[in-house]
């Protein structure tokens, strides 16, 4: 009997053969925290005074940058102080290297095949795009990991998703994952690992794989992974990463709790209607819905590839509503500037914000007011998340968001092609 990716990876980490349902105590390769590191550090200092391995901790500032209140600025100071005290070198402050934590984890290849990644953020699962087992944990749990250098995990069962074919024009990775969220429902993959494989995945860029893995948590999955391949290999070569890489995957005879096949050609441009992520609709069902704002960015869709799609749509045109665009990292912003696409977006009437989470979780600029509707490329549309409790958030792909911004109402990106 063979093993799944999760069973193989956690067996390797545990130093013994384990299967779904077993408990392991394992050491992470990297731990990522953002602004909540100020809170994690306070809990940490109640336990002990020295982190187990400063080299394995990555800290980023992304949710509340640049600090817009004294409280946020003071919280950042606590993190800087902590990084200094503990000699944490992987600290992404407001400088040319910074960005959203999940972007950094893949961009800088902290996530790599065979690694175990933990993060104090539910979207840590994004890192599965690079072939790692990546899962989110709470702050106190992270404080414990910083102290002990280990965590107990229950080896999850796995749902296998075989992805075939190619997207039709106007359809993208975000539409796929929104459709999958609609299929499984908010708790439909609870405690499970999602294994994505097949030619459909193999043909996708790392950026697209990140979009897919990012939203696994919206089905309460423990982690998600796309089979690592030459695209991941190329990335590691570019970053000069040769150590601590294990090309772990599922065995042919692995046992899954569920297995399904998806043909990308059947996926349509999609939205998640207010206020649940699994409230899936094909775009034609909501076409014409008035919007007040479009937000393009977030860890789900703030990459250069996403900005290319958006710029191709907006070039030479004018948006009709507030359109906030936020590159997921300084590297993405820098590349976009060099390519000239930032000025094209500005000419189209978009508002460019510095790399970070922006209005996604309602703590940075671009929140919405009472009765306003926003189409967003982020990953959650719960009531009150992006500002007013009486606002409406529609989740969509960058293409759908861009076309909607042009029209002032939710629109089908296939019609503009």
Partner 1 sequence: MKVAGKCWKYGDDINTDVIYPGRYTYQLLSEAEIASHALEDLDSEFAEKMDPGDIVVGGENWGVGSAREQAVKTLKYKGVAAIIAKSFARIYFRNCLNEGLLVITCRDAVDAIENGEMVTIDMEEGIIETKSRMFRFEQYPEYVKELVESGGIISYTKNKLSSY
- Chain residues that interact with partner 1, rule: CB under 8 A: 23, 35-36, 38-39, 42-43, 46-48, 63-64, 69, 71-72, 74-75, 78, 120-122, 124, 136-141, 143-144, 147-148, 152, 154, 186-187, 190-191, 217-218, 220, 222, 276, 361-363, 380, 382-385, 389
| Nearest-approach distance from CB 84 to partner 1, in angstroms | 19
Q: Token digits for 165?
A: 């074919």
| Nearest-approach distance from CB 50 to partner 1, in angstroms | 11
Which residues 6+ apart lie within 8 Å of 251 measured at CB? 2, 3, 4, 8
| Nearest-approach distance from CB 322 to partner 1, in angstroms | 19
| Nearest-approach distance from CB 34 to partner 1, in angstroms | 9
275 cis-preceded (ω within 30 degrees of 0): yes
Nearest CB to partner 1, comparing residues 247 and 382: 382
Residue 109 · residue 127 · CB < 8 Å? no
Nearest CB to partner 1, comparing residues 255 and 363: 363
| Nearest-approach distance from CB 71 to partner 1, in angstroms | 5
- CA–CA gap between residue 176 and residue 179 (Å, rounded): 5
Nearest CB to partner 1, comparing residues 43 and 289: 43
| Nearest-approach distance from CB 63 to partner 1, in angstroms | 5
| Nearest-approach distance from CB 177 to partner 1, in angstroms | 16
Nearest CB to partner 1, comparing residues 269 and 359: 359
- CA–CA gap between residue 56 and residue 17 (Å, rounded): 25
DSSP 329: B
Nearest CB to partner 1, comparing residues 33 and 211: 33
Residue 404 · residue 396 · CB < 8 Å? yes
- CA–CA gap between residue 412 and residue 400 (Å, rounded): 6
Nearest CB to partner 1, comparing residues 193 and 313: 193
How far from 407 is each of 37, 302, 334, CA to CA, in Å? 41, 22, 29
Nearest CB to partner 1, comparing residues 41 and 377: 41
Nearest CB to partner 1, comparing residues 93 and 335: 93
The 10 Å Cβ neighbour count of residue 181 is: 25
Kind plus residue range of the DSSP H or E element containing 263: strand 258-263
Instruction: Collapse the DSSP code of 89 into the 3-class scheme (helix H, G, I; strand E, B; otherwise coil) and give the result.
Output: coil
Residue with tokens 């998600």, as numbered in its chain: 224
Kind plus residue range of the DSSP H or E element containing 26: strand 23-26
Q: Token digits for 119?
A: 């993060």
| Nearest-approach distance from CB 256 to partner 1, in angstroms | 19
Residue 328 · residue 214 · CB < 8 Å? no
Kind plus residue range of the DSSP H or E element containing 346: helix 341-347
How far from 397 is each of 240, 246, 301, 342, 375, CA to CA, in Å? 32, 32, 8, 19, 9
Instruction: Collapse the DSSP code of 202 into the 3-class scheme (helix H, G, I; strand E, B; otherwise coil) and give the result.
Output: helix
Sort 1 into a burial class: Cβ within 10 Å, 0-12 / 13-18 / 19+.
exposed
| Nearest-approach distance from CB 13 to partner 1, in angstroms | 17
| Nearest-approach distance from CB 240 to partner 1, in angstroms | 32
| Nearest-approach distance from CB 396 to partner 1, in angstroms | 19
Nearest CB to partner 1, comparing residues 352 and 361: 361
Nearest CB to partner 1, comparing residues 377 and 379: 379
Nearest CB to partner 1, comparing residues 134 and 201: 134
* Polymer length of the chain: 417
According to DSSP, the β-strands at 280-282 and 270-272 are antiparallel
């Amino acid at each position: 009997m063979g093993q799944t990716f999760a069973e193989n990876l956690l067996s390797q980490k545990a130093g013994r053969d384990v299967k779904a349902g077993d408990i392991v105590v394992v050491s992470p390769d990297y731990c990522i925290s953002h602004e909540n590191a100020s809170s994690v550090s306070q809990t940490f200092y109640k336990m002990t005074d020295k982190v187990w391995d400063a080299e394995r901790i990555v800290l980023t500032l992304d949710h509340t940058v640049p600090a817009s209140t004294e409280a946020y600025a003071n919280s950042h100071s606590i993190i800087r102080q902590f990084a200094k005290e503990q000699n944490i070198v992987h600290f992404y402050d407001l400088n040319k290297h910074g960005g959203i934590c999940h972007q950094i984890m893949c961009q800088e290849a902290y996530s790599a095949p065979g690694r175990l990644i933990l993060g104090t953020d539910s979207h840590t699962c994004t890192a599965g795009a690079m072939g790692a087992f990546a899962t989110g944990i709470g702050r106190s749990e992270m404080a414990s990991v910083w102290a002990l250098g280990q965590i107990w995990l229950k080896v999850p069962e796995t749902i296998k998703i075989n992805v075939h074919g190619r997207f039709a024009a106007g359809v993208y990775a975000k539409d796929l994952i929104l459709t999958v969220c609609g299929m499984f429902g908010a708790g439909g993959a609870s405690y499970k690992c999602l294994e994505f494989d097949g030619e459909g995945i193999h043909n996708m860029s790392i950026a697209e794989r990140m979009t897919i893995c990012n939203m696994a948590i919206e089905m309460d999955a423990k982690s998600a992974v796309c089979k690592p391949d030459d695209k991941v290999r190329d990335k590691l070569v570019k970053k000069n990463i040769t150590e601590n890489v294990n090309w772990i995957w599922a065995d042919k005879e692995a046992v899954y709790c569920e297995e399904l096949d998806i043909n990308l050609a059947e996926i349509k441009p999609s939205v998640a209607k207010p206020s649940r992520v699994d409230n899936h609709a094909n775009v034609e069902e909501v076409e014409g819905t008035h919007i007040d704002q479009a937000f393009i960015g977030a860890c789900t869709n703030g990459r250069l590839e996403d900005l290319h799609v958006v710029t191709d749509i907006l070039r030479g045109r004018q948006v009709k509503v507030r359109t906030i665009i936020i590159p997921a990292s300084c590297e993405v912003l820098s590349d976009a500037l060099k390519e000239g696409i930032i000025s094209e977006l500005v000419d189209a009437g978009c508002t460019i914000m510095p790399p970070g989470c922006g209005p996604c979780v309602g703590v940075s600029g671009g929140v919405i007011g009472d009765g306003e509707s926003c189409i967003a490329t982020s990953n959650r549309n719960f009531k009150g998340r992006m500002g007013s409790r009486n606002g409406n958030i529609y989740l969509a792909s960058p293409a759908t968001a861009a076309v909607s911004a042009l029209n002032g109402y939710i629109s089908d990106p296939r019609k503009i092609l």
